[in-house]
């Protein structure tokens, strides 16, 4: 039974790693869209577009892969937190794309 639970945990980690990475890439495209339309990147570390692309494509990808391969519970929680963070960030982008008014 423990082997089954471990396998389910690994599969869940892989799923959340893919979800977090996909939401991260959506955030990248929405950020680039906003910058092209006159917005300013709020994160001072990401104000250079080449740096932003490299960090989001390579850095976050490696981090998601690494966390998904770790057996510790904290890695599992980290992946879930990343997915929630990027989902919220994408909602923030969508809010402003829609003109800042949802109703």
pLDDT digits (tens, 9 = 90+) for 19-53: 999 999 999 999 998 888 888 888 888 889 999 99
Long-range CB pairs of 97-103 (<8 Å, 24+ gap) are 97/30, 97/33, 97/34
Q: Is residue 102 situated within a structural domain?
A: no
- pLDDT of 74: 92
pTM of the full predicted structure?
Answer: 0.86
30 part of a folded domain: yes
Into how many domains does the chain fold? 1
Instruction: State the Cα–Cα distance between residues 38 and 34, nearest whole angstrom.
Output: 6
**Closest to 28 in 3D by CA, of 70, 57, 58, 59:** 57
Confidence of residue 101 (pLDDT cuts 50, 70, 90): low
Which phi-psi region, left, alpha or beta, contains residue 53 (left: φ > 0; alpha: ψ -120 to 50)? Answer: alpha
CA–CA gap between residue 58 and residue 62 (Å, rounded) = 6
User: Is 17 domain-assigned?
Assistant: yes
- Residue 100: per-residue pLDDT: 67
With respect to residue 84, please indicate whether it lies within any of the assigned structural domains: yes
Where in the sequence is the domain holding 68, given as residue range(s)? 2-97
Structure tokens at 42: 């709020």
């Amino acid at each position: 039974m423990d082997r089954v639970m471990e396998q389910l945990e690994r599969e869940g980690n892989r799923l959340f790693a893919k979800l977090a990475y996909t939401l991260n890439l959506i955030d990248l495209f929405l950020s680039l869209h906003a910058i092209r339309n006159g917005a300013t990147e709020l994160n001072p570390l990401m104000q250079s577009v080449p740096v932003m692309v490299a960090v989001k494509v390579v850095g976050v990808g490696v981090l998601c892969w690494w966390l998904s391969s770790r057996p510790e519970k904290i890695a599992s929680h980290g992946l879930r937190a990343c997915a929630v963070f990027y989902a919220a960030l994408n909602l923030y982008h969508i809010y402003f794309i829609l003109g800042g008014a949802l109703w």
